[in-house]
Each structure stands twice: as C-alpha cells, then as structure tokens.
Chains A and B, each alone.
Chain A
Amino acid sequence: EIVMTQSPATLSVSPGERATLSCRASQSVTINLAWYQQKPGQAPRLLIYGASTRATGIPARFSGSGSGTEFTLTISSLQSEDFAVYYCQQYNNWPPLTFGGGTKVEIK
C-alpha cells in the first residue's frame, strides 16, 4: 500500500497570501496524483488530477506540481472560500486508492 503524507497539518495564511501545501508518497506514483478540497460539513471536491491538471470549473489560482514522490498544491492568492481541508490522493497503484491525512488551511 502506498502511504501518502501531507504537511503541514495546519497552515495559517492571511487572505490574499500564497499557500503552499506538500504531499509525499511512500513510493513513486509518477504523476498519478489528485487533490481534493473539503469545506466544513461538505463533501470533498476534486481540484487537480494528473498532478497538475485542474478539474472542470476550478479557478486558475489553484495549481499543482510535482512527480514521483513529491507534490505541491499552491493557492496563489487565498480567497475567503479557500479556507478548508485539502487532501492528496494517489491512484498509481491500487487497490487501495489512498489519501493523505489532510492539510487544514486556516485564516491567520
């Protein structure tokens, strides 16, 4: 099973600032990595797949990068609606499909 590790667990950012979230895989997942956003009380939403491809309707301020075992989700200028928990997920080697533990982006 591929273990996904996200850091930091919590990120405090001011509105308008850049947020950088990290995700590490226990073995290479090439670019078969997705990012999801989950707001309190809501279901998750797909943001990025293929490590860097934005899903339909996702704003350009969200960008993904990386390959192999190291990945980054960047939110270029945080908006109020972006404060949420973000999860990475690998789909290179499954079953099982595995998620990271999440990074909570909170208002500083």
Chain B
Amino acid sequence: EVQLVESGGGLVQPGGSLRLSCAASGFAFSTSYMNWVRQAPGKGLEWVANIKQDGSEKYYVDSVKGRFTISRDNAKSSLYLQMNSLRAEDTAVYYCARGGTIVMVRGVVTPLFDDWGQGTLVTVSS
C-alpha cells in the first residue's frame, strides 16, 4: 500500500523558513516522479513543484521560484520542500503527491498525481 506522510508544517512569521518532509513507503520511490501541491484554506488546488526520479530536473510555479527548493533523498525514500522568505499567501495545506502515472506529452515526460499524503498545514502569520 502506498503511503505518503508529510511533516514539518506549523506557524511561521512572514519572512521565515520551514522545511517540509514527506516519508514514502509501499512503492519504488526512486523510480517515481514526486510533486508538492498546496491548498489554501477553503480554496482550490495549486501545483507547487516537482522533481524527476533522479533529482536532475526540478520545476516550480512562478510564485515560489527563488524561494522554495524541492529535493529528494532516494536512499531514505523522502521528499523535501525547503521554503524560505515565506509570505502570508503561502498559507496552505501542503500535499506530497506521487507521479505514478507518467504520460508523454509532445515528447515531455509528464507526471500525474496518483497518490497523495494527508497534508501538512503551513500558516504564515505574525
């Protein structure tokens, strides 16, 4: 059974930093594309970032570029999101999502969001 367990959320002041972790089990983590997706309270879903299986490619939504860094440790089956210079608008539940289904779109490897963790809440407020 696929399990994704996020941790590291909490209350942080604007301008502060947090590091989220996602512990994965029940599947071959090292061969899976991984994503972070967030959901502001009462709002919809927003993709944040993803990382290729070997960590060689990383992509971000514009609003977090230069502030957030996605990384992974395949030996520990873990995914991370380092969040710096946090803003009030970063307040959200952050989900770790496995890109199990991969589709080729015009020659580009594209992951879907097959399995999700339960999320960790990040609140940015003074």
**Stretch with Cβ within 8 A of B (4 or more), from A59-67, A73-81, A95-103:** A95-103
Are B45 and A87 interface neighbours, CB within 8 A? yes
Interface string of B45-69 (1 = CB under 8 A from A): 1110010000000011110000000
A89 contacts which chain B residues (CB < 8 A)? 45, 47, 113
Report the Cα distance A94→B116, complex, angstroms. 20
Are A34 and B112 interface neighbours, CB within 8 A? yes
B59 touches which one: A43, A45, A94, A98 (CB < 8 A)? A94
Interface string of B102-118 (1 = CB under 8 A from A): 01010000101110111
Interface range, B side: 20 to 34
A28 CB, min distance to chain B CBs, angstroms: 12
* Given A43-B119, A50-B103, A55-B101: A94 and B45 interface contact (C-beta under 8 Å): no
Report the Cα distance A87→B50, complex, angstroms. 19
Interface range, A side: 20 to 34
The reply on B41 being an interface residue by CB < 8 A is no
Are B110 and A43 interface neighbours, CB within 8 A? no
A99 touches which one: B45, B59, B95, B101 (CB < 8 A)? B45
* Given A91-B105, A95-B61: A46 and B44 interface contact (C-beta under 8 Å): no
B35 CB, min distance to chain A CBs, angstroms: 8
- Smallest CB gap from B59: residue in A: A95
Report the Cα distance A56→B37, complex, angstroms. 21
Are B47 and A98 interface neighbours, CB within 8 A? yes
Chain A residues within 8 Å of B, Cβ to Cβ: 32, 34, 36, 38, 42-46, 49-50, 55, 87, 89, 91-92, 94-102
